[in-house]
Structure 1
Amino acid sequence: MPDIRPLPEDLQKIAIEQLNEVPQRLDADLLALRTWIEQQPHLRARTDDQFLVGFLRGCKYSLEKAKSKLDKFYTLRTKYPDFYMIRDVDSERMQELVRMGVGVPLPIPLHENGPRLIYVRPGLYPADRYTFDDVMAVANTMNNLTLLLDDYALVNGLITLLDFTDYSGAHLLQMTPTVMKKMTIFAEEAMPVRDKGTHMIHTNAAFEAVFNVMRPLMPAKKQERLSVHGSNLEALYAYIPQKYLPKHLGGEQGCIDTLKEGQWNTFQKYRDYLRDELKYGVDEKLRPGGQQIDYDHLFGVDGSFRKLNVD
């Protein structure tokens, strides 16, 4: 028997009907993916069942897609570690950013058993103390724990609610084309958690300036999943009923302080796991055939939006 958490009956039904999961074949599917990993001289990856089943589910049990995502997951984390992971979980500075709760998961999935909801406030952190790379290091670290812990996210995907309250020109200047490409490529090609939509509220001129420039750079599917509601929360309710929002937005998902505390407690509980993550990655010198992706060329030269008028 595979060493994974049993899914609740409703989630197991979805995994079978929508993700092509065959419980009787799960051992064989996990063995096939684990065997492939062990045959890759350049790849140091986790091989425990709970980790691997996340990639299989996120790729609807396409072994080739799971291989590709696993390889890119570790390749990108090795090449750009300061963007894709917290390298020192004992750093007081990074712990402060975790406690700040720029992005927090909401405890109840949409419609009780649907996608996991993530509430993100990109204008919350002080832009004179932290870079957006720091924020993404925290976000990607917590997403790594999502792979370990959150069956609703792994089976049904994620819906992101972006609240641009207090988003400023200083935050905007940190959003470069390279940053956007690092975010979208990792989400699309390396993470096995499916994007089920992004909804933006309380947008302002600073947001609109960067969004209008960045949107064409995003994959077509990503663009289709984006909805901008401004201050019209009634429009948001058509996608996310009000009860599933945090308390300060009129919902029933708890107050911000409680949500932040929950995320901090999860981070604290799994600090040893996150330390252990540092030993996994790739060694490009050992990659078979020497066929590595030139991510530096793909991401391009970093720039900024300093010439944009965002006042």
Structure 2
Amino acid sequence: MPPQIREISPELQEHAVKYLNEVPERIEADLEALKTWIVQQPHLNPRTDDQFLIAFLRGCKYSLEKAKSKIDTFYMLRTKYPEMFNPTDVDNGKLREILRLGPIVYLPKLYNGARLGIFRLGPVPADKYAIHEVMQVGQVMQEITLLEDDYAIINGIILIMDMKGATAGHLFQMTPGLAKKMTTYNEEALPIRPKAQHFVNTIPGFETIFNMIKPMMSKKQQERLFIHGKMESLIEQIPLEYLPKEYGGENGSIEESVAEWEKKFDSYREYIKANANYGTDESLRPGKAIDFDSLYGTEGSFRKLNVD
């Protein structure tokens, strides 16, 4: 049976061949090699459908060893920290409330072939919602993106982090342990490659958090970080037309994006519920057990942060 994957455009296929080492005639064999390895892992119980697995192959430029490592880490972290990384209920009241506030949106028009996303802290009150609850919304969106968005998988994502309206309360939630878990998950578990991260409308105290998180990132990702005090600086790198209407641009609107994602959450209800069936059993992992606390940290906060 041929691989059960979606056909992509000739342009995307060319990009996948040139930059991701994809050999269309070898996809079936590559998927089979990954599935054979999965069967041999006593501790690992992942999804094994072709569309899901090819996202990891493409995200790892067809390095089987890197794909294996990412799949393992993906499920290891989701099992250990489900409150952050493993949503199972798209009808959860808080999850829907946060989604409707629109802190995370993906925009319809691509920029240089990459998907554009905007993450806004301001619309989500820090005294009402914890950052891991906002992350759960992002996790559902990322999981759907893994399955649906060939442009994001093959060409990557450009993320704009807009801090307008953010408060010290938001910054206080970003503990070193939480930052380490997020960085590890984004770099070592997710097969979606960030092409750039732009921070705009930064607030007092941001630099302290930024300087704490940056060393946790790979050198390659550090080079893709850009800080803009004001929108004018951002627009020099991402033209206004690629931003949503709320920013004065022409790339859809946040309201439209939220409405579209509401429908997607509904249509993936059973798929997300099934996340509870997948994961790792660390007691069955071959070799030495993983010391999560020393790896990802549990202590520390920024309660004494001076944000004046």
Length-normalised TM-score, structure 1: 0.95
Aligned residue type for 2:249:
G
1:221–1:166 distance in 2 versus 1, CA, 3 Å: same
Identity %: 52
1:294 aligns with 2:294: no
1:52–1:214 distance in 2 versus 1, CA, 3 Å: closer
Structure 1 residue runs of 4 or more that deviate by more than 6 Å after TM superposition: none
Query: Structure 1 CA distance, aligned partners of 2:6 and 2:115?
Result: 18
Q: Structure 2 residue aligned with 1:265, among 257, 263, 266?
A: 263
Deviation readout 1:99-134 (Å, 9 max, x if unpaired): 2221111112113xx111111102221111111111
Query: Structure 2 CA distance, aligned partners of 1:214 and 1:277?
Result: 29
1:309 aligns with 2:302: no
1:238 aligns with 2:239: no
Deviation readout 1:21-79 (Å, 9 max, x if unpaired): 11111111111001111111111111111001000000000100000000000000000
Query: Structure 2 CA distance, aligned partners of 1:19 and 1:131?
Result: 37
Q: Which stretch of the first structure deviates more once superposed, 178-187 or 235-244?
A: 235-244
Length-normalised TM-score, structure 2: 0.96
Query: Structure 1 CA distance, aligned partners of 2:115 and 2:227?
Result: 19
1:179–1:61 distance in 2 versus 1, CA, 3 Å: same
Aligned residue type for 2:83:
D
Query: Structure 2 CA distance, aligned partners of 1:44 and 1:297?
Result: 25
5+ residue gaps, structure 1, are: none
Aligned residue type for 1:100:
L
Residues 101 and 263 in structure 1, CA contact (< 8 A), matched pair in contact too: no
Matches within 5 A, 1:74-93: 74-93=75-94
Counterpart in the other structure of 1:255? 253
Residues 87 and 278 in structure 1, CA contact (< 8 A), matched pair in contact too: yes
Q: Which stretch of the first structure deviates more once superposed, 70-79 or 201-210?
A: 201-210
Query: Structure 2 CA distance, aligned partners of 1:41 and 1:217?
Result: 30
1:222 aligns with 2:221: yes
- CA drift of 1:247 comes to 1.0
Deviation readout 1:132-186 (Å, 9 max, x if unpaired): 1111122122111111111001101111001111010111110111111111101
How many matched pairs?
307
1:71 aligns with 2:72: yes
Residues 209 and 310 in structure 1, CA contact (< 8 A), matched pair in contact too: no
1:97 aligns with 2:98: yes
RMSD between aligned alpha carbons? 1.4
Matches within 5 A, 1:127-138: 127-138=126-137
1:124 aligns with 2:144: no
Query: Structure 2 CA distance, aligned partners of 1:89 and 1:98?
Result: 10
